[in-house]
Protein backbone atom coordinates (compact mmCIF):
# COMPACT_ATOMS: atom_id res chain seq x y z
CA UNK A 1 0.00 0.00 0.00
CA UNK A 2 1.11 3.53 -0.76
CA UNK A 3 0.21 6.56 1.31
CA UNK A 4 0.15 10.09 0.01
CA UNK A 5 -0.36 13.42 1.74
CA UNK A 6 -3.99 13.49 0.63
CA UNK A 7 -6.56 10.71 0.13
CA UNK A 8 -7.80 9.75 -3.35
CA UNK A 9 -10.60 7.32 -2.42
CA UNK A 10 -13.14 9.08 -4.63
CA UNK A 11 -12.16 10.89 -7.83
CA UNK A 12 -15.25 12.36 -9.52
CA UNK A 13 -15.38 13.22 -13.22
CA UNK A 14 -17.31 16.40 -14.00
CA UNK A 15 -17.95 17.42 -17.61
CA UNK A 16 -16.35 20.85 -18.07
CA UNK A 17 -19.44 21.93 -19.97
CA UNK A 18 -21.92 21.41 -17.09
CA UNK A 19 -22.17 24.59 -15.03
CA UNK A 20 -24.57 23.08 -12.48
CA UNK A 21 -22.32 20.06 -11.83
CA UNK A 22 -19.25 22.33 -11.52
CA UNK A 23 -21.09 24.34 -8.87
CA UNK A 24 -22.47 21.31 -7.05
CA UNK A 25 -19.02 19.70 -6.73
CA UNK A 26 -17.91 22.44 -4.34
CA UNK A 27 -19.99 20.75 -1.64
CA UNK A 28 -19.73 17.06 -2.59
CA UNK A 29 -17.75 14.64 -0.37
CA UNK A 30 -15.20 13.76 -3.04
CA UNK A 31 -11.46 13.57 -2.39
CA UNK A 32 -10.57 14.74 -5.89
CA UNK A 33 -12.25 16.06 -9.03
CA UNK A 34 -11.36 15.44 -12.66
CA UNK A 35 -12.69 18.39 -14.64
CA UNK A 36 -13.19 16.79 -18.01
CA UNK A 37 -12.70 18.40 -21.40
CA UNK A 38 -12.28 15.09 -23.24
CA UNK A 39 -14.90 12.35 -23.64
CA UNK A 40 -17.68 13.95 -21.57
CA UNK A 41 -17.72 17.05 -23.81
CA UNK A 42 -18.92 17.04 -27.43
CA UNK A 43 -16.66 18.53 -30.14
CA UNK A 44 -19.09 21.43 -30.61
CA UNK A 45 -19.01 22.30 -26.89
CA UNK A 46 -15.25 22.01 -26.35
CA UNK A 47 -14.13 25.64 -26.77
CA UNK A 48 -17.01 26.91 -24.58
CA UNK A 49 -16.35 24.21 -21.96
CA UNK A 50 -12.67 25.19 -21.83
CA UNK A 51 -13.61 28.84 -21.24
CA UNK A 52 -16.26 27.95 -18.63
CA UNK A 53 -13.86 25.70 -16.77
CA UNK A 54 -11.02 28.24 -16.76
CA UNK A 55 -13.40 30.89 -15.43
CA UNK A 56 -14.88 28.53 -12.81
CA UNK A 57 -11.49 27.43 -11.53
CA UNK A 58 -10.38 31.04 -11.11
CA UNK A 59 -13.43 31.85 -8.94
CA UNK A 60 -14.82 28.71 -7.26
CA UNK A 61 -13.68 27.25 -3.95
CA UNK A 62 -13.18 23.49 -4.10
CA UNK A 63 -11.64 23.37 -0.63
CA UNK A 64 -9.27 20.46 0.00
CA UNK A 65 -10.48 18.48 -3.01
CA UNK A 66 -7.67 17.86 -5.51
CA UNK A 67 -8.37 19.69 -8.81
CA UNK A 68 -7.27 17.77 -11.88
CA UNK A 69 -8.07 18.92 -15.43
CA UNK A 70 -8.36 16.26 -18.16
CA UNK A 71 -7.34 17.93 -21.41
CA UNK A 72 -7.85 16.56 -24.91
CA UNK A 73 -5.00 14.66 -26.55
CA UNK A 74 -2.36 16.56 -28.51
CA UNK A 75 -3.42 14.56 -31.59
CA UNK A 76 -6.80 16.37 -31.56
CA UNK A 77 -7.66 19.95 -32.61
CA UNK A 78 -8.21 20.97 -28.95
CA UNK A 79 -5.34 19.52 -26.89
CA UNK A 80 -2.77 22.31 -27.25
CA UNK A 81 -5.31 25.07 -26.60
CA UNK A 82 -6.54 23.18 -23.51
CA UNK A 83 -2.99 22.94 -22.18
CA UNK A 84 -2.34 26.65 -22.81
CA UNK A 85 -5.56 27.63 -21.01
CA UNK A 86 -4.49 26.03 -17.72
CA UNK A 87 -0.86 27.16 -17.47
CA UNK A 88 -0.73 29.10 -14.19
CA UNK A 89 -4.34 28.19 -13.27
CA UNK A 90 -5.48 27.11 -9.79
CA UNK A 91 -5.20 23.38 -10.54
CA UNK A 92 -3.27 20.58 -8.88
CA UNK A 93 -2.52 18.50 -11.96
CA UNK A 94 -3.19 18.01 -15.67
CA UNK A 95 -4.51 14.61 -16.78
CA UNK A 96 -3.55 13.47 -20.27
CA UNK A 97 -5.78 10.94 -22.04
CA UNK A 98 -4.65 7.84 -23.92
CA UNK A 99 -1.00 7.98 -22.90
CA UNK A 100 0.78 5.18 -24.75
CA UNK A 101 4.44 6.16 -24.38
CA UNK A 102 6.62 8.36 -22.17
CA UNK A 103 6.99 10.63 -25.22
CA UNK A 104 3.23 11.40 -25.03
CA UNK A 105 3.82 12.75 -21.53
CA UNK A 106 6.93 14.65 -22.54
CA UNK A 107 5.01 16.48 -25.29
CA UNK A 108 2.70 17.96 -22.63
CA UNK A 109 5.51 18.47 -20.11
CA UNK A 110 7.27 20.64 -22.70
CA UNK A 111 4.39 23.15 -22.86
CA UNK A 112 3.19 23.05 -19.23
CA UNK A 113 6.12 23.82 -16.96
CA UNK A 114 5.96 22.88 -13.28
CA UNK A 115 2.50 21.36 -12.87
CA UNK A 116 2.33 17.67 -11.94
CA UNK A 117 1.06 15.44 -14.76
CA UNK A 118 -1.32 12.50 -14.53
CA UNK A 119 -1.76 9.89 -17.26
CA UNK A 120 -4.83 7.96 -18.42
CA UNK A 121 -3.76 4.36 -18.97
CA UNK A 122 -6.31 3.05 -21.46
CA UNK A 123 -4.61 1.77 -24.59
CA UNK A 124 -3.08 -1.64 -25.24
CA UNK A 125 0.28 0.04 -25.93
CA UNK A 126 -0.05 2.03 -22.70
CA UNK A 127 -0.40 -1.23 -20.75
CA UNK A 128 2.76 -2.60 -22.36
CA UNK A 129 4.64 0.66 -21.72
CA UNK A 130 3.25 1.26 -18.21
CA UNK A 131 6.72 1.04 -16.64
CA UNK A 132 8.30 3.77 -18.83
CA UNK A 133 5.22 5.97 -18.38
CA UNK A 134 5.29 5.60 -14.58
CA UNK A 135 9.02 6.39 -14.55
CA UNK A 136 8.53 9.82 -16.21
CA UNK A 137 9.83 12.42 -13.72
CA UNK A 138 6.81 14.75 -14.09
CA UNK A 139 4.25 11.99 -13.51
CA UNK A 140 2.35 12.06 -10.21
CA UNK A 141 -0.66 9.84 -10.83
CA UNK A 142 -2.18 7.26 -13.14
CA UNK A 143 -5.88 6.68 -13.91
CA UNK A 144 -7.20 3.48 -15.47
CA UNK A 145 -9.44 4.08 -18.49
CA UNK A 146 -11.25 0.78 -18.46
CA UNK A 147 -13.87 1.75 -21.07
CA UNK A 148 -11.29 2.60 -23.70
CA UNK A 149 -9.20 -0.41 -22.74
CA UNK A 150 -12.17 -2.78 -23.10
CA UNK A 151 -12.94 -1.17 -26.44
CA UNK A 152 -9.37 -1.75 -27.70
CA UNK A 153 -9.27 -5.30 -26.41
CA UNK A 154 -12.71 -6.16 -27.78
CA UNK A 155 -13.59 -7.57 -24.37
CA UNK A 156 -17.06 -7.85 -22.82
CA UNK A 157 -18.10 -6.49 -19.43
CA UNK A 158 -17.78 -9.10 -16.67
CA UNK A 159 -18.29 -8.40 -12.96
CA UNK A 160 -14.87 -9.98 -12.25
CA UNK A 161 -13.15 -7.88 -14.96
CA UNK A 162 -11.19 -10.95 -16.06
CA UNK A 163 -10.22 -9.49 -19.45
CA UNK A 164 -8.84 -6.33 -17.82
CA UNK A 165 -6.86 -8.00 -15.06
CA UNK A 166 -3.56 -8.19 -16.96
CA UNK A 167 -3.64 -4.45 -17.74
CA UNK A 168 -4.80 -3.45 -14.27
CA UNK A 169 -2.02 -5.53 -12.74
CA UNK A 170 0.70 -4.18 -15.06
CA UNK A 171 -0.26 -0.57 -14.33
CA UNK A 172 -0.45 -1.19 -10.60
CA UNK A 173 3.02 -2.76 -10.62
CA UNK A 174 4.40 0.19 -12.61
CA UNK A 175 2.77 2.75 -10.30
CA UNK A 176 4.10 1.11 -7.15
CA UNK A 177 7.58 0.62 -8.62
CA UNK A 178 7.76 4.41 -9.08
CA UNK A 179 5.68 5.53 -6.05
CA UNK A 180 2.85 6.99 -8.12
CA UNK A 181 -0.80 7.42 -7.16
CA UNK A 182 -3.03 5.00 -9.10
CA UNK A 183 -6.81 5.22 -9.42
CA UNK A 184 -9.10 2.48 -10.73
CA UNK A 185 -11.49 2.93 -13.69
CA UNK A 186 -15.17 3.94 -13.62
CA UNK A 187 -18.21 1.73 -13.02
CA UNK A 188 -20.65 2.74 -15.75
CA UNK A 189 -23.93 1.54 -14.18
CA UNK A 190 -24.16 4.50 -11.83
CA UNK A 191 -27.47 3.42 -10.31
CA UNK A 192 -26.13 -0.04 -9.35
CA UNK A 193 -24.62 0.58 -5.88
CA UNK A 194 -24.04 -3.11 -5.15
CA UNK A 195 -22.18 -3.69 -8.42
CA UNK A 196 -20.05 -0.63 -7.67
CA UNK A 197 -19.30 -1.89 -4.16
CA UNK A 198 -18.08 -5.23 -5.52
CA UNK A 199 -15.83 -3.49 -8.07
CA UNK A 200 -14.50 -1.03 -5.45
CA UNK A 201 -13.66 -3.90 -3.12
CA UNK A 202 -11.83 -5.66 -5.94
CA UNK A 203 -9.85 -2.50 -6.72
CA UNK A 204 -9.02 -1.93 -3.06
CA UNK A 205 -7.96 -5.58 -2.63
CA UNK A 206 -5.64 -5.20 -5.63
CA UNK A 207 -4.03 -2.09 -4.14
CA UNK A 208 -5.56 0.87 -5.99
CA UNK A 209 -5.71 4.16 -4.06
CA UNK A 210 -9.29 4.91 -5.11
CA UNK A 211 -11.87 4.82 -7.84
CA UNK A 212 -12.87 7.24 -10.57
CA UNK A 213 -16.61 7.96 -10.47
CA UNK A 214 -19.17 9.52 -12.79
CA UNK A 215 -22.07 10.42 -10.49
CA UNK A 216 -22.40 11.90 -6.96
CA UNK A 217 -24.45 8.86 -5.87
CA UNK A 218 -21.27 6.74 -6.20
CA UNK A 219 -19.23 8.77 -3.70
CA UNK A 220 -20.26 7.11 -0.44
CA UNK A 221 -19.53 3.60 -1.70
CA UNK A 222 -16.02 4.49 -2.90
CA UNK A 223 -15.20 6.56 0.20
CA UNK A 224 -16.11 3.59 2.42
CA UNK A 225 -14.38 0.95 0.31
CA UNK A 226 -11.02 2.74 0.05
CA UNK A 227 -10.82 3.96 3.67
CA UNK A 228 -9.22 1.78 6.33
CA UNK A 229 -12.03 0.09 8.28
CA UNK A 230 -12.31 0.48 12.08
CA UNK A 231 -11.07 -3.12 12.39
CA UNK A 232 -8.02 -2.33 10.23
CA UNK A 233 -7.20 0.76 12.30
CA UNK A 234 -7.61 -1.20 15.53
CA UNK A 235 -5.40 -4.02 14.24
CA UNK A 236 -2.73 -1.52 13.10
CA UNK A 237 -2.63 0.05 16.57
CA UNK A 238 -2.38 -3.34 18.29
CA UNK A 239 0.36 -4.50 15.89
CA UNK A 240 2.44 -1.39 16.59
CA UNK A 241 1.98 -1.76 20.36
CA UNK A 242 2.82 -5.48 20.30
CA UNK A 243 5.88 -4.93 18.11
CA UNK A 244 7.16 -2.11 20.35
CA UNK A 245 6.78 -4.44 23.33
CA UNK A 246 8.56 -7.28 21.51
CA UNK A 247 11.44 -5.02 20.56
CA UNK A 248 11.78 -3.76 24.15
CA UNK A 249 12.16 -7.41 25.14
CA UNK A 250 14.90 -7.86 22.54
CA UNK A 251 12.68 -9.74 20.04
CA UNK A 252 12.23 -9.05 16.33
CA UNK A 253 8.83 -10.68 15.96
CA UNK A 254 5.51 -10.22 17.78
CA UNK A 255 2.30 -12.23 17.53
CA UNK A 256 -1.13 -10.57 17.18
CA UNK A 257 -4.36 -12.55 16.67
CA UNK A 258 -2.28 -15.69 16.08
CA UNK A 259 -0.27 -14.11 13.23
CA UNK A 260 3.32 -12.97 13.20
CA UNK A 261 4.10 -9.26 13.05
CA UNK A 262 7.48 -8.21 11.66
CA UNK A 263 9.04 -4.90 10.68
CA UNK A 264 7.37 -4.92 7.24
CA UNK A 265 3.92 -5.32 8.80
CA UNK A 266 4.64 -2.27 10.94
CA UNK A 267 5.33 -0.23 7.81
CA UNK A 268 1.85 -1.19 6.53
CA UNK A 269 0.29 -0.53 9.96
CA UNK A 270 1.78 2.97 10.07
CA UNK A 271 0.55 3.65 6.52
CA UNK A 272 -2.96 2.55 7.55
CA UNK A 273 -2.96 5.00 10.46
CA UNK A 274 -1.54 7.79 8.28
CA UNK A 275 -4.27 7.21 5.69
CA UNK A 276 -7.00 7.21 8.35
CA UNK A 277 -5.55 10.49 9.70
CA UNK A 278 -5.46 12.08 6.24
CA UNK A 279 -9.10 11.10 5.65
CA UNK A 280 -10.16 12.52 9.02
CA UNK A 281 -8.33 15.78 8.20
CA UNK A 282 -10.11 15.95 4.84
CA UNK A 283 -13.49 15.86 6.58
CA UNK A 284 -15.24 13.62 4.00
CA UNK A 285 -16.79 10.67 5.84
Q: Which residues are annotated as a binding site?
A: 70, 122, 148
Binding mask 178-217 for ligand LIB3CWND (x = CB under 6 A): -------xx---x-----------------------xxx-
Cβ 207 to ligand LIB3CWND shortest distance, Å: 19
In the bound state with ligand LIB3CWND, the residue whose beta carbon lies nearer, of 12 and 261, is: 12
- Interface with ligand LIB3CWND, residue 20, by CB under 6 A: yes
Q: Least CB distance from residue 150 to ligand LIB3CWND, whole Å? A: 8
Closer of 36 and 82 to ligand LIB3CWND (Cβ): 36
Q: Is 12 in the site for ligand LIB3CWND (CB under 6 A)?
A: yes
Nearer Cβ to ligand LIB3CWND (126/228): 126
Q: 113: how many CB neighbours lie within 10 A of its CB?
A: 9
Q: Give the interface with ligand LIB3CWND as residue ranges (CB under 6 A).
A: 12-15, 20-21, 24-25, 36, 39-40, 120, 122, 145-148, 185-186, 190, 214-216
Amino acid sequence: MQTHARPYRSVLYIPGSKARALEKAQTLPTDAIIFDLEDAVTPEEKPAARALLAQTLSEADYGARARIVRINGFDTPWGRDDAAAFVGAKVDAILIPKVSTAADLQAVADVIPGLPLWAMLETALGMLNAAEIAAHPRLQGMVMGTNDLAKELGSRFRPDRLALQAGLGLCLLAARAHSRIIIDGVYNAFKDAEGLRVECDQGRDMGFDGKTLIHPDQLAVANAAFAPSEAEVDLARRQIAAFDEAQAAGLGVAVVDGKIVENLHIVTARQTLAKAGAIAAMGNS
